[in-house]
Structure 1
Amino acid sequence: MKTPLPLTLAGCFLFALTACSNAVLDPKYERNTNPRQKRVVTATIDGAPGSFAEATASVQYIIGPERTCMPSAEPFSGTFPTPERFSISIPMRKLSDTTYEFDIYLDGMLAKDYFGKGVCTWVVELASIYLQPTRDENGREFLISLQPPELASRKRTVFYARRDAYSAPLIHATHNVEYTTSKENFITRYGTDLSKAFTITVDAKE
């Protein structure tokens, strides 16, 4: 007759993704209350078919570059349910009908020992700008994605967007994001006629 598994082992087998997990699902990450690495980001729109009713921004941080401070992977699934990212919404200042500004901190998250495995440090993974022609929450929005080099280089970056997408009806509400792109990618996708595009010039300064 087979010897039954001890209760603790049986429980681990049945509830491997919960009770016996090494992960912490709610680490309660903290923002840095005294950030110093500030960037002022300005977005200037040129040639859009109309104005924008809403302009919002966000920044996404990620633990890195090493993640040894985080809990180990799940012993059975091999996944890491503990989030390694944290996003913050950022208020934007409207300087004119075509110019918006917001502040971002490269050190906006608190370096801390969240899991008892060493100090977790953070880096900016992505900053995003959303421009909406209408205030309809399901309406179209133009997305500008800023990578860390574009935030740190202090150089202007120009993004291209389709003019005809500004007022085009949505095929489906879930397809409401229009991604902006570089000049080269725009030409590859839509041809060399740049009169079909409007631009968003982004400038990040200390």
Structure 2
Amino acid sequence: MNHTSEATPVAKKFKHNPAPRQAYRITMTIENAPGPFAQMVGLAQYDVVNTECLRPPKDNPGGYSSPVPTEDVELPLLKVGENRFETMVYADQMLDEDYAGRGLCRWELIQMRVRMKVTGAADETIFTPSIPAQKILEQSSEVVHFRKSAYGDKDGFPYFGQPDRSRFGPSVQDIDLFTITFNPVKG
């Protein structure tokens, strides 16, 4: 008996644009933090935004939609002053491709974020401020507030902060918070 097995397709590696042109310089400023951050990793998140290019549920086991392709691109953070860092984000970092034979999948920048730890220990809180793509493209600032009391916590969870200061309520004073501000500029 002759059995033919079909090879499982290898997942395609998403391709980066070798010559991106839509550059945005982002300055991140940390204000009133209780201390320094020993570990900081900048990331730009890109997602496929037109899901009709993906395999439909009937073609997937269990009838589920294909997961939306996403890619995090690590960004170097350059220290440019006391508690100030810069990086460059490219809105056109990803190359659009046809992954399922259903047309071109379009990639868009979703956000830029920084994963920050006080010492870098595995079990400590991961401060994760971010700025959405819309604000980057509009060159609008984003201020993210964090409770100072979370600095040095050992819970291992991400803490995304709060762009809306009022969400902390009246019992939390400004002295109880520190901020991380992102300022994007085209070019």
Same fold flag (TM > 0.5): yes
Paired residues of 2:48 and 2:68 also in contact (CA < 8 A) = no
Alignment partners' CA distance in 2, 1:57 and 1:114: 27
Gaps of 5+ in 2: 1-5
Aligned: 1:180 with 2:154: no
Q: Match for 1:51: what amino acid?
A: P
CA distance in 2, matches of 1:84, 1:167: 34
Q: Where do 1:19-34 residues align within 5 Å?
A: 26-34=11-19
Q: Give yes or no for the alignment of 1:191 onto 2:171.
A: yes
**Number of aligned pairs?**
181
Larger Rg: 1
How far the C-alpha of 1:186 sits from its partner, in A, is 4.1
CA distance in 2, matches of 1:75, 1:144: 35
Percent identity between matched residues is: 23
Query: 1:166-205 CA deviation, whole Å, 9 max, x = no partner?
Result: 134x2x44x3x222112434433x7341110011111011
User: Within 5 A, what are the aligned runs for 1:70-149?
Assistant: 70-73=54-57, 74-149=59-134
Structure 1, unmatched stretches of 5+, are: 1-18
- TM-score after normalising by structure 2: 0.85
Q: For the residues of structure 1 that align with 2:129 and 2:77, how far apart are their CA atoms?
A: 14
Cα distance in structure 2, aligned partners of 1:76 and 1:187: 44
3-state DSSP of counterpart to 1:68: helix
Q: TM-score, normalised by structure 1?
A: 0.77
- What residue is the counterpart of 2:53 in the other structure? 69
Residue 135 of structure 2 is matched in structure 1 by 150
Across the aligned residues of Structure 1 and Structure 2, the Cα RMSD in angstroms comes to 2.4
Whichever residue aligns with residue 55 of structure 2, its letter is P
